[in-house]
């Protein structure tokens, strides 16, 4: 999915700047604690009961985009002319 978002953003004229992985967890007693929602856990348990290897989401991707700087583009065009 992040690759598709990057392509759409590029078509819209945005520049990809960074990708940050955001863990969906807490920290307790020196351990990472799953912060999955009740619905995610319920569905994962149902799937496992049927023999499916289902897991709850543990991270989200944060994609950072920037707009091209208009003055940089203008100076590049002027130099080329």
- At a CB cut-off of 8 Å and minimum separation 6, what does 32 contact? 23, 25, 26
> End-to-end alpha-carbon separation of the chain, Å?
40
Q: What is the pTM of this model?
A: 0.60
Q: What is the pLDDT of residues 56-67, one digit of tens each?
A: 888 899 999 999
Can you give the pLDDT at residue 42? 92
- Each domain of the chain, given as residue ranges in start order, spans 2-80
The strand pair at 25-28 and 31-34 is best described as antiparallel
1 — pLDDT class (breaks 50, 70, 90):
low
For the chain, helix, strand, coil in percent to 5 are 40, 30, 30
DSSP state of 24: -
Q: What is the pLDDT of residues 4-34, one digit of tens each?
A: 999 999 999 999 999 999 998 999 999 988 8
Can you give the pLDDT at residue 80? 53
């Amino acid at each position: 999915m992040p690759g598709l978002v990057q392509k759409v953003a590029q078509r819209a004229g945005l520049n990809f700047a960074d990708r940050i992985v955001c863990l969906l967890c807490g920290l307790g007693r020196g351990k990472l604690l799953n912060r999955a929602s009740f619905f995610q856990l319920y569905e994962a348990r149902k799937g496992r009961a049927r023999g499916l290897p289902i897991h709850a989401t543990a991270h989200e991707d944060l994609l950072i985009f920037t707009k091209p700087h208009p003055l940089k583009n203008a100076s590049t065009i002027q130099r080329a002319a």
